[in-house]
Amino acid sequence: MIPTVSQDPEVIEYCTNFDAYLKFVNQTEQDLRVHVDYEVDTDLLVLSVKSTLPAISEVELASEKYNATSSNFNVETQTLILETQLEDFEVFEAEINLVLGQQKFPFTIEIDPTNPIGFTDVLDLPQKPISWDNKKTENVTDNVIDYKEEIISDFQDSILIGDVVTLTKHRVGRVCYIGELQEQKKGVWYGVDLFLGTGKHDGVVAGKRYFQGRIPTSGCFVRKKSILALGICGGDATLKPRMEGVKRKEMHGLMVEEDWLPPIQVVTCDEENRPGYNSMPSHEYRDDPRTLQKKVAILAELVRSSSNFMAYTGAGISTTAGIDDYASQKSGKQSKLNENRKKVKKPRYAKPTLGHRVLTELYHTGNLKHWVQQNHDGLPQKAGYPQHELNEIHGGWWDVSNTVIPMNGSLRDDLFTWMCEWQKKADLTLAMGTSLCGMNADDCVSDVADRFRKEEKGFGSIIVGLQRTPMDKISSIRFYGTIDEIVALLAREMDLMIPPYKSLVPDVPEDAQIEEWIFKVPYDSEGKLTTDPDEMIIWDLRKGKKIVINAGAGKGFEGTITGFYPKTPHLAVATLRQYQNESFGKEKKKYYMGNWWVETITKGLWHVMPMVNKKITLQKDWEQKTKLANVFLRRSEN
């Protein structure tokens, strides 16, 4: 476990919330575990029933020879005792019925009076959501004929005394009283003896006892709006349905294990998330926390074992930063992508999410080797991820030589070739926040997945997102949930220390900086890398300097450095429009270059400069000019 004092607050918050959720689900959504023991004392059969929750109010034993019922509940041992007289010592089958409110749970056991043994079974508590807005589900109507032969309606509440219910605030208990309370607001109150959660009394209010609580603080009174469900339900107490009609390997990935539970559907939306593409309905799911914990542990091992681990991200990784995506537009405000979402005045002011920062730390710890990014937002670079290991395959807001590409546009040749190289050599791809609906770049997932499942090479592809994708069936592990929560759990599992976010300050070599925004760079007059000192140029990025775009669709376009994007250190460049449509090259447009490019180019980490000065100055000429200027200066001083 990482010392929490040095960990990023977001990681701590996500992990703390997950731990609380997992604990609650383990306590409340677990099956009702019932242990049944019996013993024979002379000719008396004594049956003992103990359960994980004190919710069973009665036990019945039924067979051809014996029928007995008991509600003899021992509060201290949390055990129900049933005793019945034996007629003989023959082996017999008996049906045991456990009574829980209005529900009965039957199971059959074999009893051998000459060789008593214990018996254990696992039973499901009833889970029935309550819709208080619908009177048909709230009330059951019985028609009664009065003495005048007129039909009257007698309404009976759907919640009855003895029912186990889930309340708000993660409370679970049994209804012990329904009715009005003295000295309280009028209307129906429900007295509940809590098994989980803390009440305020033991059933006594204002000196009057309404029911007997198990302990002095197990009792509470609630209105009907606080009752969320019949039975026990953990996590999302509105009892969302589980994913169904999907094969387990498609539901969880090829590495699925036997005890992984189906994901929970948390948003229902039948509309396709990317109409016109190979898309899926916009339902959103979350992994059961017990399953999620196991998936994260396996993912951590895969990351540690991988030699060429690649990330592939879509719009979903940036939504919590305040940047819109496409796939969740159909589900709208109900989408879980809106949870913890920050608000920004303009998308360019967005700050990296936890997802960006965890991937960046995975790179700096030597685990992540490459990142293919569908987005344009520059958030990986702001998080400190190096530009020279990031392929912005669809263009970027902060690269004047790789502007945003339309869906029918042409990808940059060098970036496409680079991506294909990684599609061939990656042994693990982590795809996050992408609908995988048929883009060329989606081969980052399919190629790596195919090598794993067809050739048993590498570890395949991991997919993280809230919605289903067409590639789920070929994934190694399929995660359902928000990216930030899952990467927080991964960071903890791998003992990663995620530093709190700070604005990026480029690390420029000391000998590269001549003056503010003037640099020596290891590139030639064509903006290509060179090792020849006589060919190396000066990069002058001062306001007003004329430049030429050096790569991409607008290669050869001339422009002028006009300053900065407002309130940022990122350069602004006015040049011709580079968007690949009918207005291409026909009008002026401002583009921007992120300040991280200064570090990338001064260190010679990228194969080609994004832009060069229109008037090229060689470093040797600059130095000669500087020497002459110093000579004249000394002479003038003398």
Mean pLDDT along residues 134-149: 33
**Residues 600, 569 share a domain:** yes
The total of other beta-carbon atoms located within 10 Å of residue 308's CB is: 16
**Residues 482, 356 share a domain:** yes
Mean pLDDT along residues 209-236: 81
Please check the confidence at residue 493 and state whether its pLDDT lies above 70.
yes
Kindly state whether residue 502 falls inside one of the protein's structural domains.
no
Kindly state whether residue 252 falls inside one of the protein's structural domains.
no
pLDDT, one tens digit per residue, over 373-383 is 999 999 999 99
Mean pLDDT along residues 352-366: 97
pLDDT at 418: 97
**Residues 183, 268 share a domain:** no
In whole angstroms, give the CA distance from residue 483 to residue 463: 10
pLDDT, one tens digit per residue, over 49-105 is 887 666 677 889 999 999 999 988 776 777 888 899 999 989 999 998 887 665 677
Domain that holds residue 64: 30-126
Kindly state whether residue 3 falls inside one of the protein's structural domains.
no
Range from 103-117, 182-196, 594-608 that averages highest in pLDDT: 594-608
The two three-digit tokens of residue 173, written as one number: 């208990």
Identify whether the C-beta of residue 403 lies closer than 8 Å to the C-beta of residue 422.
no
pLDDT at 53: 67
One-letter amino acid identity for 199? Answer: G
Please check the confidence at residue 144 and state whether its pLDDT lies above 60.
no
DSSP H helical ranges for 479-571: 483-493
For the four alpha carbons of 433, 438, 441 and 444, in that order, the dihedral sign comes to: positive
* % of the chain surpassing 70 pLDDT: 83
The total of other beta-carbon atoms located within 10 Å of residue 524's CB is: 18
3-state secondary structure of 251: helix
Cα first-last separation, the chain: 68
Q: Counting every residue, how long is the chain?
A: 638
| Residue 81 or 123, more confident | 81
pLDDT at 247: 94
* % of the chain surpassing 90 pLDDT: 56
**Residues 190, 292 share a domain:** no
Find where tokens 């990784």 sit: 317
The DSSP H or E segment spanning 625 is helix 619-637
**Averaged pLDDT score across all residues of the chain:** 85
pLDDT at 287: 93
Say which range, 129-143, 180-194, 560-574, has the weakest mean pLDDT.
129-143
Kindly state whether residue 189 falls inside one of the protein's structural domains.
yes
Kindly state whether residue 596 falls inside one of the protein's structural domains.
yes
**Residues 450, 586 share a domain:** no
Please check the confidence at residue 450 and state whether its pLDDT lies above 90.
yes
Kindly state whether residue 65 falls inside one of the protein's structural domains.
yes
Q: What CATH number did the domain enclosing 90 receive?
A: 2.60.40.3340
pTM above the 0.75 mark? yes
Please check the confidence at residue 275 and state whether its pLDDT lies above 90.
no
pLDDT at 577: 96
pLDDT at 266: 83
Please check the confidence at residue 466 and state whether its pLDDT lies above 70.
yes
Range from 112-121, 230-239, 405-414, 416-425 that averages highest in pLDDT: 416-425
Please check the confidence at residue 549 and state whether its pLDDT lies above 60.
yes
Asked which of 438, 464, 493 is the last residue of a domain, the reply is 493
Q: How confident is the model at residue 623 (pLDDT cuts 50, 70, 90)?
A: confident
Q: How confident is the model at residue 481 (pLDDT cuts 50, 70, 90)?
A: very high
The DSSP H or E segment spanning 477 is strand 477-480
**Residues 417, 522 share a domain:** no
Helix, strand, coil fractions of the chain, as percent rounded to 5: 25, 30, 45
pLDDT, one tens digit per residue, over 186-209 is 888 999 998 888 899 989 988 888
**Residues 539, 420 share a domain:** no
pLDDT at 54: 67
pLDDT at 249: 96
Q: How confident is the model at residue 32 (pLDDT cuts 50, 70, 90)?
A: low
Q: What is the 3-state secondary structure (H, E, C) of 380-429?
A: HHHCCCCHHHEEECCCCCCCCCCCCCCCCCCCCHHHHHHHHHHHHHCCEE
Q: How confident is the model at residue 256 (pLDDT cuts 50, 70, 90)?
A: very high
Please check the confidence at residue 246 and state whether its pLDDT lies above 80.
yes
In whole angstroms, give the CA distance from residue 267 to residue 270: 10
Q: What is the 3-state secondary structure (H, E, C) of 440-452?
A: HHHHHHHHHHHHH
| Residue 206 or 292, more confident | 292
pLDDT at 107: 82
Please check the confidence at residue 486 and state whether its pLDDT lies above 50.
yes
**Residues 99, 219 share a domain:** no
Give the number of domains in the chain.
Answer: 4
pLDDT at 237: 43
The two three-digit tokens of residue 210, written as one number: 């309404």
pLDDT at 515: 93
DSSP annotation of 316: G
Burial of residue 350, with CB atoms counted within 10 A of its CB: 0-12 exposed, 13-18 middle, 19 or more buried: buried
Please check the confidence at residue 1 and state whether its pLDDT lies above 50.
no
Please check the confidence at residue 4 and state whether its pLDDT lies above 70.
no
pLDDT at 637: 66
Please check the confidence at residue 6 and state whether its pLDDT lies above 70.
no
Kindly state whether residue 288 falls inside one of the protein's structural domains.
yes
Q: What is the 3-state secondary structure (H, E, C) of 318-354?
A: HHHHCCCCCCCCCCHHHCHHHCCCCCCCCHHHCCCCH
pLDDT at 342: 75
**Residues 304, 223 share a domain:** no
**Residues 111, 188 share a domain:** no
In whole angstroms, give the CA distance from residue 351 to residue 500: 12
Kindly state whether residue 18 falls inside one of the protein's structural domains.
no
| Residue 219 or 338, more confident | 219
pLDDT at 140: 31
Mean pLDDT along residues 156-176: 79
In whole angstroms, give the CA distance from residue 296 to residue 285: 17
Asked which of 103, 126, 149 is the last residue of a domain, the reply is 126
Beta-sheet strand order (sheet of 103-111) = 67-70, 58-62, 92-100, 103-111
**Residues 476, 374 share a domain:** yes
pLDDT at 454: 96
Identify whether the C-beta of residue 477 lies closer than 8 Å to the C-beta of residue 462.
yes
**Residues 335, 435 share a domain:** yes
Q: How confident is the model at residue 508 (pLDDT cuts 50, 70, 90)?
A: very high
pLDDT at 239: 55
Identify whether the C-beta of residue 496 lies closer than 8 Å to the C-beta of residue 361.
yes
